[in-house]
Amino acid sequence: MIYAIFAAHWIASVFFQSFFQHRYAAHRMYTMSPRTERTLHLLTYLVQGPSYLSPRGYAILHRQHHAFSDTDRDPHSPWNFRNALRMMLHTKHRYDAYAYRREEPEARFLGGYPEWKLIDETLSQSWAMRIAWGALYSVPYFLFATHAWQWALLPVQWVLGPVHGAIVNWGGHKYARWFEIDPTWQVMRVLAKTRVIEISTPQKAVYPEPERAAA
Protein backbone atom coordinates (compact mmCIF):
# COMPACT_ATOMS: atom_id res chain seq x y z
CA MET A 1 0.00 0.00 0.00
CA ILE A 2 2.85 2.42 0.82
CA TYR A 3 4.42 1.82 -2.59
CA ALA A 4 1.09 2.37 -4.34
CA ILE A 5 0.43 5.64 -2.46
CA PHE A 6 3.96 6.89 -3.13
CA ALA A 7 3.78 6.02 -6.84
CA ALA A 8 0.32 7.57 -7.24
CA HIS A 9 1.42 10.78 -5.56
CA TRP A 10 4.59 10.94 -7.66
CA ILE A 11 2.68 10.47 -10.93
CA ALA A 12 -0.03 12.98 -10.00
CA SER A 13 2.52 15.58 -8.87
CA VAL A 14 4.68 15.32 -11.98
CA PHE A 15 1.59 15.35 -14.20
CA PHE A 16 0.35 18.67 -12.84
CA GLN A 17 3.86 20.10 -13.04
CA SER A 18 4.04 19.10 -16.70
CA PHE A 19 0.43 19.91 -17.59
CA PHE A 20 -0.27 23.12 -15.66
CA GLN A 21 3.03 24.73 -14.74
CA HIS A 22 5.02 23.72 -17.82
CA ARG A 23 2.70 23.45 -20.79
CA TYR A 24 0.19 26.07 -19.61
CA ALA A 25 1.94 28.61 -17.36
CA ALA A 26 5.27 28.64 -19.17
CA HIS A 27 4.24 27.95 -22.78
CA ARG A 28 0.49 28.65 -23.05
CA MET A 29 0.12 25.58 -25.23
CA TYR A 30 -3.62 25.51 -24.58
CA THR A 31 -6.40 27.80 -23.45
CA MET A 32 -9.39 27.21 -21.18
CA SER A 33 -12.14 29.03 -19.34
CA PRO A 34 -11.28 31.10 -16.25
CA ARG A 35 -13.22 28.65 -14.07
CA THR A 36 -11.29 25.66 -15.44
CA GLU A 37 -8.01 27.53 -14.93
CA ARG A 38 -8.90 28.18 -11.28
CA THR A 39 -9.86 24.56 -10.78
CA LEU A 40 -6.56 23.31 -12.22
CA HIS A 41 -4.62 25.88 -10.24
CA LEU A 42 -6.22 24.65 -7.01
CA LEU A 43 -5.75 20.99 -7.93
CA THR A 44 -2.07 21.62 -8.65
CA TYR A 45 -1.60 23.04 -5.17
CA LEU A 46 -3.59 20.27 -3.48
CA VAL A 47 -1.63 17.56 -5.28
CA GLN A 48 1.83 19.11 -4.86
CA GLY A 49 1.31 20.38 -1.32
CA PRO A 50 4.55 21.55 0.34
CA SER A 51 6.51 21.24 -2.93
CA TYR A 52 4.08 23.41 -4.91
CA LEU A 53 5.75 25.74 -7.40
CA SER A 54 4.36 29.19 -8.21
CA PRO A 55 3.32 29.35 -11.89
CA ARG A 56 4.93 32.80 -12.12
CA GLY A 57 8.30 31.66 -10.79
CA TYR A 58 8.20 28.45 -12.79
CA ALA A 59 7.21 30.18 -16.03
CA ILE A 60 9.87 32.89 -15.85
CA LEU A 61 12.66 30.41 -15.08
CA HIS A 62 11.54 28.01 -17.77
CA ARG A 63 11.30 30.73 -20.40
CA GLN A 64 14.80 31.86 -19.51
CA HIS A 65 15.91 28.24 -19.77
CA HIS A 66 14.64 28.09 -23.35
CA ALA A 67 16.05 31.49 -24.28
CA PHE A 68 19.51 30.77 -22.86
CA SER A 69 19.61 26.97 -23.04
CA ASP A 70 22.93 25.52 -21.86
CA THR A 71 24.69 28.87 -21.83
CA ASP A 72 26.01 30.77 -18.81
CA ARG A 73 22.65 32.54 -18.48
CA ASP A 74 20.64 29.32 -18.31
CA PRO A 75 19.24 29.17 -14.75
CA HIS A 76 19.53 25.39 -14.56
CA SER A 77 21.83 23.88 -17.13
CA PRO A 78 23.66 20.76 -15.85
CA TRP A 79 26.72 21.84 -17.82
CA ASN A 80 27.20 24.83 -15.51
CA PHE A 81 27.32 22.91 -12.21
CA ARG A 82 29.35 20.11 -10.67
CA ASN A 83 26.32 18.13 -9.52
CA ALA A 84 22.52 18.19 -9.43
CA LEU A 85 22.40 19.51 -5.86
CA ARG A 86 24.39 22.64 -6.73
CA MET A 87 22.21 23.17 -9.77
CA MET A 88 18.99 22.90 -7.78
CA LEU A 89 20.20 25.21 -5.00
CA HIS A 90 21.00 27.82 -7.64
CA THR A 91 17.63 27.19 -9.28
CA LYS A 92 15.83 27.70 -5.96
CA HIS A 93 17.59 31.02 -5.45
CA ARG A 94 16.54 32.24 -8.89
CA TYR A 95 13.01 30.83 -8.50
CA ASP A 96 12.50 32.61 -5.16
CA ALA A 97 13.69 35.89 -6.65
CA TYR A 98 11.05 35.80 -9.39
CA ALA A 99 8.22 33.97 -7.64
CA TYR A 100 8.16 36.44 -4.74
CA ARG A 101 9.08 39.55 -6.77
CA ARG A 102 12.44 40.19 -5.14
CA GLU A 103 13.80 40.71 -8.65
CA GLU A 104 12.19 41.34 -12.01
CA PRO A 105 13.32 39.61 -15.23
CA GLU A 106 13.43 41.10 -18.70
CA ALA A 107 9.95 42.19 -19.78
CA ARG A 108 9.83 39.53 -22.51
CA PHE A 109 9.63 36.79 -19.85
CA LEU A 110 6.67 38.32 -18.03
CA GLY A 111 2.95 37.73 -18.44
CA GLY A 112 0.67 35.02 -19.70
CA TYR A 113 0.84 32.87 -16.54
CA PRO A 114 -1.95 32.35 -13.98
CA GLU A 115 -1.62 34.12 -10.65
CA TRP A 116 -3.56 33.47 -7.45
CA LYS A 117 -2.09 35.30 -4.47
CA LEU A 118 -3.92 33.19 -1.89
CA ILE A 119 -2.23 30.03 -3.15
CA ASP A 120 1.00 31.30 -4.72
CA GLU A 121 2.11 33.60 -1.91
CA THR A 122 0.00 32.93 1.19
CA LEU A 123 -0.83 29.23 1.55
CA SER A 124 2.23 27.84 -0.21
CA GLN A 125 4.54 30.03 1.92
CA SER A 126 2.83 29.34 5.24
CA TRP A 127 4.88 27.17 7.62
CA ALA A 128 1.67 26.12 9.34
CA MET A 129 0.40 24.74 6.03
CA ARG A 130 3.72 23.04 5.30
CA ILE A 131 3.61 21.33 8.70
CA ALA A 132 -0.01 20.36 8.08
CA TRP A 133 0.91 18.82 4.72
CA GLY A 134 3.77 16.94 6.35
CA ALA A 135 1.44 15.58 9.01
CA LEU A 136 -1.11 14.55 6.38
CA TYR A 137 1.54 12.73 4.34
CA SER A 138 2.61 10.86 7.48
CA VAL A 139 -0.80 9.28 8.07
CA PRO A 140 -0.51 6.47 5.49
CA TYR A 141 2.89 5.52 6.90
CA PHE A 142 1.46 5.14 10.40
CA LEU A 143 -1.36 3.05 8.96
CA PHE A 144 0.37 0.91 6.34
CA ALA A 145 4.17 0.92 6.73
CA THR A 146 5.45 -2.61 7.28
CA HIS A 147 9.18 -1.86 7.40
CA ALA A 148 11.02 1.02 9.06
CA TRP A 149 12.95 1.87 5.90
CA GLN A 150 9.69 2.73 4.08
CA TRP A 151 9.59 5.93 6.14
CA ALA A 152 12.55 7.11 4.04
CA LEU A 153 10.05 7.70 1.22
CA LEU A 154 8.15 10.28 3.29
CA PRO A 155 10.64 13.20 3.02
CA VAL A 156 10.84 12.56 -0.72
CA GLN A 157 7.09 13.21 -0.95
CA TRP A 158 7.62 16.55 0.80
CA VAL A 159 10.00 17.76 -1.93
CA LEU A 160 8.65 16.09 -5.08
CA GLY A 161 8.67 19.37 -7.05
CA PRO A 162 12.42 19.97 -6.69
CA VAL A 163 13.08 16.25 -7.22
CA HIS A 164 11.20 16.38 -10.53
CA GLY A 165 13.16 19.47 -11.50
CA ALA A 166 16.48 17.80 -10.75
CA ILE A 167 15.56 14.73 -12.78
CA VAL A 168 14.32 16.70 -15.79
CA ASN A 169 16.93 19.47 -15.82
CA TRP A 170 19.92 17.30 -14.97
CA GLY A 171 19.06 13.90 -16.44
CA GLY A 172 16.97 15.25 -19.29
CA HIS A 173 19.79 17.39 -20.66
CA LYS A 174 22.50 14.82 -20.13
CA TYR A 175 20.78 11.54 -20.98
CA ALA A 176 17.37 12.15 -22.73
CA ARG A 177 16.65 10.32 -26.03
CA TRP A 178 14.41 11.11 -28.98
CA PHE A 179 12.13 8.11 -28.46
CA GLU A 180 10.97 9.14 -24.97
CA ILE A 181 7.21 9.74 -24.77
CA ASP A 182 5.48 12.58 -22.93
CA PRO A 183 2.12 11.17 -21.76
CA THR A 184 0.92 14.68 -20.87
CA TRP A 185 0.41 15.36 -24.57
CA GLN A 186 -1.94 12.39 -24.84
CA VAL A 187 -3.96 13.67 -21.88
CA MET A 188 -4.13 17.09 -23.52
CA ARG A 189 -5.52 15.55 -26.70
CA VAL A 190 -8.27 13.82 -24.73
CA LEU A 191 -9.14 17.01 -22.83
CA ALA A 192 -9.21 18.92 -26.10
CA LYS A 193 -11.62 16.42 -27.64
CA THR A 194 -13.91 16.78 -24.63
CA ARG A 195 -13.59 20.59 -24.93
CA VAL A 196 -12.13 21.08 -21.47
CA ILE A 197 -9.18 22.85 -23.10
CA GLU A 198 -8.35 24.17 -26.56
CA ILE A 199 -4.88 23.38 -27.83
CA SER A 200 -3.23 26.48 -29.26
CA THR A 201 -1.93 26.62 -32.81
CA PRO A 202 1.81 27.34 -33.12
CA GLN A 203 0.95 30.93 -34.05
CA LYS A 204 -1.03 31.41 -30.82
CA ALA A 205 1.41 29.68 -28.49
CA VAL A 206 3.28 32.82 -27.47
CA TYR A 207 3.92 34.64 -24.22
CA PRO A 208 2.87 36.95 -22.90
CA GLU A 209 -0.55 37.11 -24.50
CA PRO A 210 -0.86 40.54 -26.10
CA GLU A 211 -4.11 41.40 -24.29
CA ARG A 212 -2.77 40.38 -20.89
CA ALA A 213 0.53 42.15 -21.43
CA ALA A 214 -1.34 45.33 -22.24
CA ALA A 215 -3.45 44.96 -19.12
DSSP assignment of 54-123 equals: -HHHHHHHHHHHHHTTTSTT-TT-GGGSSSHHHHHHHHHHHHHHHHTTSS---GGG-SSS---HIIIIII
Task: Write the DSSP string, 2-22.
Answer: HHHHHHHHHHHHHHHIIIIII
Q: What is the pLDDT of residue 208?
A: 53
Q: What is the pLDDT of residue 169?
A: 81
pTM of the model as a whole: 0.85
Q: How many domains does the chain have?
A: 1
pLDDT of residue 207 exceeding 70: no
Domain membership of residue 149 as a residue range: 2-214
pLDDT of residue 31 exceeding 60: yes
Q: Find the mean pLDDT for residues 50-61.
A: 92
Q: What is the pLDDT of residue 215?
A: 40
Q: What is the pLDDT of residue 167?
A: 83
The amino acid that residue 56 corresponds to is: R
Q: Find the mean pLDDT for residues 41-54.
A: 93
- High-pLDDT (> 90) share of the chain, %: 52
**Cα–Cα distance for residue pair 68/66, rounded to 1 Å:** 6
**65-87 pLDDT tens trace:** 988 888 888 888 888 888 888 88
**Cα–Cα distance for residue pair 190/210, rounded to 1 Å:** 28
